[in-house]
Every structure is written in C-alpha cells, then in structure tokens.
Structure 1
Amino acid sequence: MADNRLGDGRRLSVIDVAEPGATAPADQADTAPRAGAQDTATADAARQGTAQPDTGKADTAKPQAPKAEAGDRPANKADATPGPGKPAPGKPADKKPADKKPGPGPANKGEGGEPPRKKPAKQAETVQVIEVAPVAQPAVMRKRHWGLALVFVLMVVAPLTAAGWYLEFRSEDQYASIVGFTVRKEEGTSATELLTPLLGGLGGGGGSSDSDVLYEFIQSQSLVSRIDERVDLVGHYSVPYDKDPIFALNPDATIEDLTNYWSRVVQLSYDSATGLMELRVLAFEAEQARTIARAIVEESQALINDLNATARSDTLRYAQDDLADAESRLRDAREALVLFRTRTQIVDPETYGRGQESLINVLQQQLAQALIDYDLLLQGAGGTDPRVAQAQSRIDAIRARIDEERESSVVSEDYPRLLAEYESLAVDREFAEESYRAARAALDSARADVTRQTRYLAAYIEPTLPQSAEYPRRLVLMGLAALFLFLSWAIVSLVYYSIRDSR
C-alpha cells in the first residue's frame, strides 16, 4: 500500500493487490527498477486522485493493507519527492514503460555484458472506501395516524359508499325530453309601426322582450299550476317517493314545494342574443316527459297569443282615442275660423287686403292724372274757362272716393293684428286636419292588424320521446361527492395539525 500526498495536501491511499501465484523478480532489491515501479504506481494514483478527489479527511478510513511479500520494502520519502525524471504529484505522468532499459553500469549487467530481462511491474488496483450514512428506522404507525385514517373512513369512505349504494339501488331512473323554440315576429313593417312615432310608441315591444317574458313565465308558479291541472304533476313525481325520497316529490307537497321541485325537473337555457330557448323536462316515464314538454309549449303559445291580443286591443283602443281627439281639435279649429270670418266679414283678410290696396292704388293713379290735366288747363285757358271748374270737380271726386275706400277697408292700423289672428287660426286648422288624417290611418291599420298574428311561438325542436334514462347521472354525482368529501377531510386534517403544531 502506498500512502502518497498530492500537491493540495490530500492523502491518497493506494492498495497494491498482487495477483495470486505471482513471484517477485530476482533483482527487485535494486534501487532503479523499484523506483521506476513506484513512479508508475504514483502516477496512476495521481491520475485517479485527480479524477475522483477524496472529499473527506485522509485519515478517516484507511483500508488495511495486505501483508507485504518477502523482499518488498517500504517506499522511502525520497521516492515520493519529485526529482529529475519523476512526475510531480497531482500531475499526469508521461506514459513510459516501467521496464525501460537503465543506463550502463556494473549493477545492471549480466552475463556477456547484456542487461537481464525483467518482468513488467504489476499495476496497483485502487480501492476507494465510501462512508455510508446509517439506515433510517422503518416507519411505525402511531396513534395520530390511526386517528387520521379513522376520520378518513368516517368522512370520506363511509358517506361515499352510502351515496353509491343509494344511487345504484334506490334512485329511480329519469327520462329527459328536449324541446326548443323561440318567439318570432312577423316579417315586414305594418302601418301601425310606421305610425308609432305619432302614437307615442304604443303597441308593445319587440320579440326580444317577449322572449324575456316567456323565460320568466316558464319558471313561474302560474305555469306550474296550469301544468299541474293538466297532467297531475304531484301524482306523477310522488309515485317512487317511498323508494327514492331524494329525487321524488313528497305526496303532501304544497304549490310552493312543487314550484321548487319544478326547477329541478325542468332545465331551461336561454340565449338572450338570439332569443333561442331549449327546454329539458325530466320525468320517471318517457311518455310523461314528452307530455309535460308539449304542455309547456302549448301554455307558452297561449301566453304569446294573450300578449298579441292585449297589444292589438290596446293599439285599437289608443287609435280610436287619438282619432276622437283629432276630430275634436279639427272641429274647434274650424269653429274658431268661422267666428273670425263672421266678426270681420272677411273670408280671407290677406286676399281682401290686397284687393283694397289695388283699388286705392288705381284711384291714386287717376288722381295724379287729373291733377296733371288740371295744371295744363290752367296754363292754356285761364281761370275763367268752364273746363277748369270741371277738372277741379273731378279731382275733388277722386279724393273723396279715396277717403271713403280707406275708411271702409281694413287697410288701417288694425290690419296686421287681424292678419296675424287669421294666420294662427289657419295653422291650427291645418295641423288638426293632418292629425285627423294620421289618426284615421292608424285606426284603419289597427283594425287590419286585429285579423292577423304579429308574434308567434316557433318550435325548432319538437318535444322528443326519450328511449333510455339519462338521469340521475350517477358517475358525475359520485365524482362530485368524492371531491367534496375529500376536500372536507383534507381541510379538517390541516386544521387539526395546525392547531396541534401551534401548541
């Protein structure tokens, strides 16, 4: 065994294991061959120490070296010290054979002056000892472990087993009938819709609002009562109550209990964007499920018809009221205009005023021409000519006529007021006439809408007849129950250990 120290202070233990049956060479006592073999072993050990450094202490675990054979000598310190021709510790040595021929000398020559043949040195085998940690003791079930397992059985295994037994042997099969429908509105625009702005938006909303009303109606107590009267819901859903009290209805259930149970057996999905509704009705018999689904569709159609009838009657009534108001306003406007004409004795003040102005203008022109003739006559005949007197008489007559026309006509300071009053009465009459015509058209359209159905229930999926029972979904219920029970047990365990560790 060679105990060498590397350059970083670590000790490398090398055990030389000789092959069985091997004998030492006759000249093993020589210094040079022994030094060469030690150098080779030191180089091999240095390479192994570089590849696998000993991280522990050098003296921690030393293997016991086998007894040295006769003729073996311990390595000298001088041999471990690097020198000329020897590799330094910790560095890989040059690969040189250990049986290299030494230089000439008296000790190395045999008979005939030839060096003796030497067997190659055996390479040392390195054994590395690794310290192993002590093996942990086997786990032992303690009291708290048994308690935790007992709680798991009580909280998870037992309830889950009971639920599985009930679902498998006690729960009654249920059949699902599916129906899909939507509220459709008649295509096209009626005269009533065209006149809606004039009628103040009367006549109800669109199909979307009707779908919302229908969605609430299907879940209401009113529909449950109507369906119960038609198909006896309590009698059907309470038949398997003795065997399946969880999924069946109590025979003594009130209308409130039946309404709550209705939400369990009638599953309604509604898409507000498209207005489509899909209904899934559960029953203990396939034919009964389809019967209930048909009854729901019929009651929904009756509701839509009632909404249509109410909307039509309201539209007709409001149109009649609007027509009566329009007639009253038109009558009042015409009476006011008649009173104005009677009081002023003028049918149309604007037209009459223009005629009076035209007449006065003509008289003014005649007066101007008479004055011109009078001036010319004075210049030519003198003041004693009888024609001058006639011209003066004509001028006076024209002036008198103009004064009379002005006094008897409306062309005075009251004319603007009379004209404004007349225009106001004329506008009122025109507006009353337009309102009357619109109200009359609305009434005619409302009467035409009474004879047709503007909204109706369109079923895009007729009530189906199920062939196999889909409910209750036992695997889904078992999975949900297992998840819930396991989470409950885990929470209880964590709370217990947190309280235990805090003490």
Structure 2
Amino acid sequence: MQIRLNKPLWIAYICCVLIPVILIILYLMVFAKDRYQSSSLVLVKQVADAQVSDTSGLGALFGVPSTSREDSQILKEYITSRDMVAKLNQNLDLRKEFSSVNDPIFALSEDASVEELVKYYNKMVNVELDEQSMMLKVSNQAFSPEFSLKLNKEILKQSDEFINQVSKNIAQEQQSFAEKQFKEATVQLDQARKNVLIYQNENEIFDPELQAKAVAALISGLQANLAQLKTEERTLLSYLTTEAPQVIALQSQIKSVEEQIAKESSKLTSPSSKRLNENVAEFEELKAQVGFASDLYKISLASLEKARLEASRKLKKLIVIAQPLMAQDALYPRKIYITITSFILLNILFGIGLLIHSIVREHRE
C-alpha cells in the first residue's frame, strides 16, 4: 500500500525535477559554448601635475590625487552605453561575433535589434567601481579567448578617446570664451586709441590739458608782469603828471599786457569758440576710455593665459593599472554551479508544489 501511495509521487518528482536537471546537463554538455573572460583595471588621471594632498595611496603613486568619483561614474556609464556598443560593433562587428555560435540560450540571435544587442552586450561586459580607489575593473566575456582580449583592448581604447575628448571639449570651451573676450578687448582698445587720434587731428591739438596748463602759466606770467608795471606806474605818477612821456609809455605797455591777458584767457573760456576747458574735458573722457580699454585688455590677456594653463591641467588620461591578458580556461558557463543550483531550485519548487497539493487535499477531505 505504501509503494502504491509513493509511486505517483516518484513519477511527479522524476518529471518535475530529474528530467529537467538531465535536460539542463545535456544542454550544458552538448549545446552550451564555452565563454572566455578578459579583465583590466583602469584609473582616470589628470595629465598635468598637481599638488599632492597626502603621501599615501594612489595620490603618492601617480603624483596626483585620486580621480574623482564623477569621472569614474561617467566612464562607467559610457562603457555600458549605446554609443560604446555602436563603436565596438563598427570596429569589431559585435553582432557577428556574438551570433556566430549555435547556442540557443547564451548566443545572440542573428536578427537581433540594436536594443537587444545593447542588452546582450551589457550581459557580456561587467564594469565594477572601487569606491575607495576609484579604479574601474572592466571584465568581458566572448566565445573565443582571442576575441575576448580584443574586445577588452578596444573598450579601453574607446574609453581613453572618450576621456580625452570630453576633457578637451571642456578646456576648449573655456579657452574659446577667453579668446573671444580677448579679441573684443583688443578691438575696443584699438577703437579707443583711434578715437583719440581722430580727436587730435580734427582739433589740431596734441593734448588740451598740456595746452591749458601752458596757457594758464602764460597768463600767470603776464599777470605778474602787469602787477609790476602798475607798481612802476604808481611810482612815476607820484612825481610826474599823466602827460609825461614816461607815464604814457608805461601805460601803453600796461594796456598791451592787459590785452594779451584777455586774449589768452579767451582761449580757456571764450564763448565765441570752443573753449579749451571743454576740449580738456572731452579729451580726458577719451583718455579714460583708452585707460579702461587698456585695463580690460590686460585682464582679458591674463584670463586667456590662465585659461590655457587650466586647459592643460584639465586634460585627463586613462591609466591602465592591469593590462588585459588572453584567457587560457573557459570560466563560463559554470556547468557544475548551474547544475547544482538548478537541482536545488527544482527541489524547492517541487516541495512547495507538494505542500500546496497536500493543503488542498486536506481541505477537500
């Protein structure tokens, strides 16, 4: 009676557990193709020297601080991106290589779409980030050791070009902006200097301020001379009459000096023509524009030189810590692991199904 009760159970166990395990083993031994793995270890590093903040770790090893988390994360995302797949497919023909073997489960179908190719690529390529050292471990699988090595090297090559291009673009944008500002400052300075030359040529004057000072000095000298002549006049009038020849001659000199003073003063404040003080004000404004443009030119030139230095400092390079090597043994598929895991899972599922069946039967009874 016990044997009759257990017979259906054994049949179910054979159908649900043993036969699937045998099929899995048959597939792994006959159809599953070996996959070989290549791995490399890389680090993003600035090209220019930088001051070391500590004397331990990678900063002391390379002479610069460790690469930032942002750089490593960007590179990690790029390696797994569709752009990377497109470049690899163009250079290595990934689609042909991944679909070249007759493996119904682990191989890529020949008519796979781009999205399926990207998804399959991300299954075959694994990128791990070390949070402490910020180093990236790039591992990939392929159906031949030669292609696995070639794929890893091509990933490193494309990653290096990507890092260089991104850093160059950032540096060039900053440098282009500085060059634009420098050109604008140069044009502004040239125009300000031309305005000064045009003003000097139109007014036939080199420097109104110097001329005003010269006129003021001349007027001051004439006024001193006039004061001396008037002193002499008072002295003569103390013992001579106004009709005396000496007094008349001295008064004539006084009149000439007064006329000369009035003439020179009119150059500074005459309402009939453009006054010299207005020329001085206009010329000072033009000189101020030249000075401002000159200061702006110096600042933009310094900014341009700084941008050029910063451009060289921001250049980054992919440093390969561990070069990829050709695999000698196939690591995948892990046949023993898959077999044991499948056997355990099938047993668990069978046990759950048996438990459910027992509960349902008890409720019916």
**Residue of structure 2 in register with 1:69 after alignment:** none
**Residue of structure 2 in register with 1:7 after alignment:** none
**Residue of structure 2 in register with 1:392 after alignment:** 251
Which residue of 416, 428, 443 corresponds with 2:289? 428
**Residue of structure 1 in register with 2:98 after alignment:** 237
Matches within 5 A, 1:72-83: none
Answer whether contact 1:156 1:486 (CA < 8 A) is retained.
no
Structure 2, unmatched stretches of 5+, are 3-7, 51-66
1:459 aligns with 2:313: no
1:217 aligns with 2:84: no
Q: For 2:238, what is the secondary structure of its paired residue? A: helix
2 CA distance for matches of 1:366 and 1:150?
Answer: 140
Which structure has greater helix proportion?
Answer: 2
Cα 1:492/1:425, change in 2 over 3 Å: farther
Quote how far apart the aligned CAs of 1:211 are. 5.0
Task: Report the count of equivalent residues.
Answer: 339
One-letter amino acid of the structure 1 residue matched with residue 283 of structure 2: Y
Which residue of 308, 322, 347 corresponds with 2:206? 347
Matches within 5 A, 1:321-400: 321-322=180-181, 324-383=183-242, 385-400=244-259
Structure 1, unmatched stretches of 5+, are 1-140, 142-146, 190-205
1 CA distance for matches of 2:99 and 2:219?
Answer: 104
**Residue of structure 1 in register with 2:88 after alignment:** 227
Answer whether contact 2:43 2:318 (CA < 8 A) is retained.
yes
2 CA distance for matches of 1:237 and 1:428?
Answer: 69
**Residue of structure 1 in register with 2:110 after alignment:** 251
- TM-score in terms of structure 2 length: 0.69
Q: For 2:205, what is the secondary structure of its paired residue? A: coil
Matches within 5 A, 1:54-133: none
1:282 aligns with 2:166: no
2 CA distance for matches of 1:226 and 1:237?
Answer: 15
Cα 1:387/1:152, change in 2 over 3 Å: farther
2 CA distance for matches of 1:150 and 1:224?
Answer: 48
Cα 1:409/1:421, change in 2 over 3 Å: closer
**Residue of structure 2 in register with 1:301 after alignment:** 160
2 CA distance for matches of 1:442 and 1:309?
Answer: 18
Which residue of 123, 126, 149 corresponds with 1:264? 123
Greater Rg by CA: 1
1 CA distance for matches of 2:205 and 2:354?
Answer: 103
Cα 1:389/1:277, change in 2 over 3 Å: same
Answer whether contact 1:183 1:458 (CA < 8 A) is retained.
yes
1 CA distance for matches of 2:354 and 2:299?
Answer: 76
Quote how far apart the aligned CAs of 1:478 are. 7.3
Could you report, residue by residue, the CA deviation over 1:45-74 in whole angstroms, capped at 9, with x for unpaired residues?
Answer: xxxxxxxxxxxxxxxxxxxxxxxxxxxxxx
Quote how far apart the aligned CAs of 1:154 are. 9.1
Q: For 1:364, what is the secondary structure of its paired residue? A: helix
Could you report, residue by residue, the CA deviation over 1:452-488 in whole angstroms, capped at 9, with x for unpaired residues?
Answer: 9943322111112333333345677678775799599
2 CA distance for matches of 1:293 and 1:420?
Answer: 73
Quote how far apart the aligned CAs of 1:309 are. 6.3
One-letter amino acid of the structure 2 residue matched with residue 231 of structure 1: L
2 CA distance for matches of 1:403 and 1:351?
Answer: 20
2 CA distance for matches of 1:344 and 1:280?
Answer: 79
2 CA distance for matches of 1:492 and 1:395?
Answer: 138
1:404 aligns with 2:263: yes
Quote how far apart the aligned CAs of 1:278 are. 1.8
Q: CA RMSD in A?
A: 4.9
One-letter amino acid of the structure 2 residue matched with residue 407 of structure 1: S
Cα 1:167/1:324, change in 2 over 3 Å: same
Q: Could you say which structure has the greater relative contact order, defined with CA pairs below 8 angstroms and 6 or more residues apart?
A: 2
2 CA distance for matches of 1:265 and 1:310?
Answer: 31
One-letter amino acid of the structure 1 residue matched with residue 291 of structure 2: E
Quote how far apart the aligned CAs of 1:248 are. 2.3
1 CA distance for matches of 2:82 and 2:219?
Answer: 86
Answer whether contact 1:316 1:447 (CA < 8 A) is retained.
yes
One-letter amino acid of the structure 2 residue matched with residue 426 of structure 1: K
Q: For 1:278, what is the secondary structure of its paired residue? A: strand
Quote how far apart the aligned CAs of 1:418 are. 3.5
- Percent of residue pairs identical: 25
Quote how far apart the aligned CAs of 1:313 are. 6.6
2 CA distance for matches of 1:396 and 1:228?
Answer: 103
1 CA distance for matches of 2:294 and 2:145?
Answer: 65
Answer whether contact 2:39 2:324 (CA < 8 A) is retained.
yes
Quote how far apart the aligned CAs of 1:171 are. 4.4
Answer whether contact 2:47 2:313 (CA < 8 A) is retained.
no
1 CA distance for matches of 2:219 and 2:69?
Answer: 71
One-letter amino acid of the structure 2 residue matched with residue 298 of structure 1: K
